[in-house]
Each structure stands twice: as C-alpha cells, then as structure tokens.
Amino acid sequence: QRLLGAIAWRALETGHLIRGGMTVGPLYHANGIVFGPALLEVYKLESQVASYPRILVSPTVMQDKDIRRYTDGTFKDHDGLVCMEYMTNVLLRTDSKTGAHNPDVRPWLDTLLSLIAENAKTLKKEGDLRKLAKWQWLSAYLERVARQKPHLVASAAPSKV
C-alpha cells in the first residue's frame, strides 16, 4: 500500500487520478508477454467496474483466507465493492521503499484540496460530468479519511466539491 500511495500522490501532483484492480490467479508473464485469467479479471475491474479513482479488490482475493490477511488496508465503498485504502499514504506522502513519511500534512492537503476544487470548477464549466464524478468521489474519499484519522489532519478541514 505504500507503493500504491506513492504512485497515487505523484499522479495527483500532476493532476492525474489512478484506478485499478487487484486479484489472484493464473498469469503468464515472460519476455514482455502477459496473459491469463488474472489479467482479464483485473482489466474488467479497472475498465468496467472501478469508475472512480480507486483500486478494487476482487471477490477472488476476499474469498481466499491465506491472501485475505494481506488486505487489512481495505474498505467497502458506497456500492459495496471492496477497495484498497491508499489515501492515508497519499496524505502522508509515504516513501514506497523506506516507509518514511512527511508529517507536515497541512500544506499538501491544502494543495490537494485546491487541485480538486480547480478541476471540479473546470469540469463543471466544460460539462464533463463523467470526469467531474471522479474528482467528487476523490473529494468524498479524502473527507472520509480525514474524519477517520483526525490526528493526521488536525488543522485542515476538507471542503465539499
């Protein structure tokens, strides 16, 4: 999850969002060729189901007791789908290799909220409701994390988009 958080916050710095899927299963991977049922499943999760900037966890993962123990950093979203919780690492800008993080969350949170508000304003003006929904989802996700972990963002209050 540290790696996922690092990828997400670096993408956010450039105004991009990420989404994807996580599963287990047969996969062939050699000499630049990748195929198999696991690849097809995560492709469907990302392209047809995820919709928002979230990483969905396949039911296959949640049904496997041995693998499920590695998914403590998950949450059930509003639609009942299980997602990886990466926003804490985004807020802390956790280093994917060392686990070190930046304890000064406020300036980054302010920047992130400003970016979300700017993008939402532009997308509303352009009438791009599909992209707007993704940024609104991110805003709600950020607010949820801030409410659940107030010690991280003590002096910062997320604003509605």
pLDDT digits (tens, 9 = 90+) for 18-56: 999 999 899 999 999 999 999 999 999 999 999 999 999
- Predicted structure pTM score: 0.79
Task: Report the alpha-carbon distance of residue 153 to residue 157 in Å, rounded.
Answer: 7
CB atoms within 10 A of CB 33: 7
**H or E element that contains 56:** strand 55-57
Structure token pair of residue 123 = 């997308």
With cut-offs at 50, 70 and 90, classify the pLDDT of residue 154.
low
Is the pLDDT assigned to residue 159 strictly greater than 50? no
Contact 106, 156 (CB under 8 A): yes
pLDDT-based confidence at residue 57 (cuts at 50, 70, 90): very high
156 pLDDT above the threshold of 50: no
User: Do strands 28-30 and 20-22 pair parallel, antiparallel, or not at all (unpaired)?
Assistant: unpaired
User: Beta strand pairing status for 28-30 and 33-35?
Assistant: antiparallel
- What is residue 105's predicted lDDT score, i.e. its pLDDT? 74
- Please write the tens of the pLDDT for every residue from 87-121: 877 777 765 567 666 667 777 777 888 888 999 99
Q: Cα–Cα distance between 141 and 5 in angstroms, integer? A: 14
Percentage of the residues of the chain whose pLDDT score is greater than 70:
84
Q: Residue 128 — very low, low, confident or very high, per pLDDT cuts 50/70/90?
A: very high
| Alpha-helical segments (H) within 14-153 | 37-44, 59-63, 65-68, 87-92, 105-126, 129-148
For 53, counting Cβ atoms within 10 Å of its Cβ (0-12 exposed, 13-18 middle, 19+ buried), the class is buried
Instruction: Provide the residue type at 123 as one letter.
Output: L
pLDDT of residue 123: 94
Mean pLDDT of all residues belonging to the chain = 83
